[in-house]
Amino acid sequence: MNEVKNGKRDIQRVGYRPSKGYQLDLEVFSIGELRRRVDSAKLRGPQRIEFYQLICVSDGACVHMVDFKPVQCGPGTFLMLRPAQAQQFDADSNWNGWLVLFRPEFLLPLRTDGVLSDMQMTVDLEALPNALQLNEDEARALTLAITQMHGDTALPASADLHNLLRHQLYALLLRLKMVHGQQEASKGASSSALMRFKRFQSLVERNFSRWHRVADYADVIGCSEKSLNRAVSETVGMTAKLFIASRINLEAKRLLAHTAMPIGLISDHVGFNEATNFVKFFKREVGCSPGDFRRQVAASRQG
């Protein structure tokens, strides 16, 4: 159910709630099964997820909305969504594929002494893009891996099964990481620039609400602002300043569109001491005021 606050309706928040009796922290099922589980009207509406979600499109074509952006999907498209991201399924197009859902803590195995194991460091989920287009061989390998996981989830729940699925998931994510790395390398960015950008991207994801200056990130990375800008430009075709601004505005858009939070509180949440400065920043980068953006989103949902 969508939450209602201050007379405004928030986006539907979807938690990890498997079927009754299911005891695993990872679920795998087909898009066809999703349609049987969820009413099409609910599936068609916007959702803000509280788990990691992988979507592998195997047949047909669809348009999946991710954080206000349409992603054109066809056979071989692989989507990676994270907690707090907003999505909207294409419930009207004829397409099929697989869904893999897992709790955030599923990737944080603990040793008996409570220390995080080295396994969690093998894949930086934040460094993976929202969408990857795989070639035929890559898509076949990933589909086979997901199909195997789907079959294994039907086995009796046990600690061994939990560990098996965790290792299978890591293998799947590592393969995606390798594909992404190969695609990035083919774009022409040097390995050093790519590594510097990945470090910057990870820092922005964790600190965008506190650090708004390029210098803050360059100091931590240990390079000049010029070198950081060059690395970001080579990798994603924009300046480091614009990359930071885009992440701040994405968070602001999420809160404006999917919550009833006052603009003053949103300003605080994304790191502005004065709401007027936030409004000026948002309007300069997005092209409209925060209030206008919220009204536009509300009007589009009513239409």
Residue-level pLDDT at 120: 46
H or E element: which one contains 97?
strand 95-102
Question: What secondary structure does DSSP assign to 175-239, as a single string?
Answer: HHHHHHHHHHHHTT--HHHHHHHHHHHHHHHHHTTT--SHHHHHHHHTS-HHHHHHHHHHHHSS-
Instruction: Yes or no: say if 31 and 95 are a contact pair by the CB < 8 Å rule.
Output: yes
Residue-level pLDDT at 302: 67
pLDDT of 101 higher than 80: yes
Distance CA 300, CA 68 (A): 12
What are the pLDDT digits (tens) for 148-196? 999 999 999 898 999 899 999 999 999 998 898 888 777 766 678 888 9
- Mean pLDDT (the chain) is 86
pLDDT of 124 higher than 90: no
Residue 142: pLDDT band by 50, 70, 90 thresholds? very high
pLDDT of 233 higher than 70: yes
pLDDT of 4 higher than 60: no
Distance CA 229, CA 90 (A): 37
Q: From 164, 117, 129, select the one nearest 145 (Cα to Cα).
A: 164
pLDDT of 55 higher than 90: yes
pLDDT of 1 higher than 70: no
The alpha helices in 53-212, defined as continuous H runs, are 136-152, 159-186, 191-207
pLDDT of 123 higher than 80: no
pLDDT of 48 higher than 70: yes
Domains in the chain (CATH in brackets) are 2-186 (2.60.120.280), 191-302 (1.10.10.60)
Distance CA 267, CA 279 (A): 8
Residues 6+ apart with CB under 8 A from 201: 126, 127, 243
CB atoms within 10 A of CB 228: 26
Q: What is the pTM of this model?
A: 0.76
